[in-house]
Amino acid sequence: MLQDKINALIEEVNHIEIRDAESLESFRLRFISRKGEMSSLFEEFKQVPSEAKRELGQLMNALKQAAEEKLKSSSKALDRERDALAASAIDVTLPSTSETLGSLHPISIVRNEIVRIFERIGFNLSEGPEIESDWYNFTALNFAENHPAREMQDTFFVARHPDTVLRTHTSPVQIRAMEKQSPPIRTLSVGRVYRNETISARSHCMFHQIEGLYVDKNVSFADLKQTLLHFAEAFFGKGTKIRLRPSYFPFTEPSAEMDVYLGTDTPSNYQLTKGTGWLEVLGCGMVHPNVLKNVNIDPEVYSGFAFGLGLERITMRRYGIKDIRNLTENDARFLRQFAGAI
């Protein structure tokens, strides 16, 4: 029956889903075009008795209007979707926008530079834990039982473990390196260390050290001096002068402090060196025989030297940083200065 056929087509038009341009065109061809469903219905409509044409004609108009409205609304929806996709698409022909570069931390920049200097002369890197036993942090390094560094004002002790501490220097890494391998040993130990100190513009309870160790037959103080001169010229510039002053460390004998000459030609250098032109950079010395014995290396056969410097101090000197706290507070405005640095 024609009436049932028209009602079925109206129901189909109302529920059909148009998701893309292809289905939109298929809908148009079926319901709107001259060769579509409407054309077929008009052919049947001609055979309908006159008294039924009024009602069926209204029903056919309802079908036509429903199809046209469906086509119009679906077309607008697809246009909006296409415009949204176009707006979000990347135009590869446009100039690229500048991207903000991240940066290495200034401590990392200086650390990497120093490591590269020593790697070029045969040093490798060694690592060790930041929580250490008394043996590695003190005893193996020839600290006497009553040494002031063992007291609470200098060392962070782990609660309920009196023989366990946060390492106060990276020298325990050297002990571990000497335990694991036989001479010749030429290594650097780099990392965080902890001391129970008041935090201020010039000091902190956490900082970084880099220490070097060389153990072999016939290693002399002259080898130590030449190695440190090489470092000073590579880091501070060709022709940099150094001097070694006698000092004391439990794990080296003889021991020394190394200064580099900066001069007094600028107000900052004058202030930094207190008018002398000399800046203390690191401590060093020949490895104490007791330390070698503690790691089962015969001091009658082998000798060695060690040196160590604080990375914060030398970084602050390099970049003119006045407050050590800037290096740990992660202020983006401060760190942004080093964007792109390697």
Other Cβ atoms less than 10 A from the Cβ of 131: the count is 13
Which pLDDT score, from 0 to 100, does residue 342 have?
59
pLDDT mean across residues, the chain: 86
pTM: 0.67
Whole-number Å distance between alpha carbons of 173 and 308 = 12
pLDDT tens string 7-46: 777 788 788 888 888 888 887 877 777 777 777 777 776 6
**Domains of the chain, CATH where assigned:** 2-88 (no CATH), 106-338 (3.30.930.10)
pLDDT tens string 85-96: 777 777 777 777
- Does residue 77 surpass a pLDDT of 90? no
pLDDT tens string 320-338: 888 888 888 888 888 877 7
- Does residue 248 surpass a pLDDT of 70? yes
pLDDT tens string 270-305: 777 788 889 899 999 999 999 999 999 999 999 999
- Contact status, residue 339 vs residue 100, Cβ threshold 8 Å: yes
Q: What is the mean pLDDT of residues 229-243?
A: 93
- Does residue 4 surpass a pLDDT of 80? no
Whole-number Å distance between alpha carbons of 313 and 266 = 19
Which pLDDT score, from 0 to 100, does residue 299 have?
95
Whole-number Å distance between alpha carbons of 164 and 131 = 7
pLDDT tens string 122-140: 999 999 999 999 999 999 9
- Does residue 254 surpass a pLDDT of 80? yes
Q: Of 339, 329, 106, nearest to 208 (Cα)?
A: 106
Whole-number Å distance between alpha carbons of 236 and 110 = 12
% of the chain at pLDDT higher than 70: 95
Categorize the per-residue pLDDT at 81 as very low, low, confident or very high, splitting at 50, 70 and 90. Answer: confident
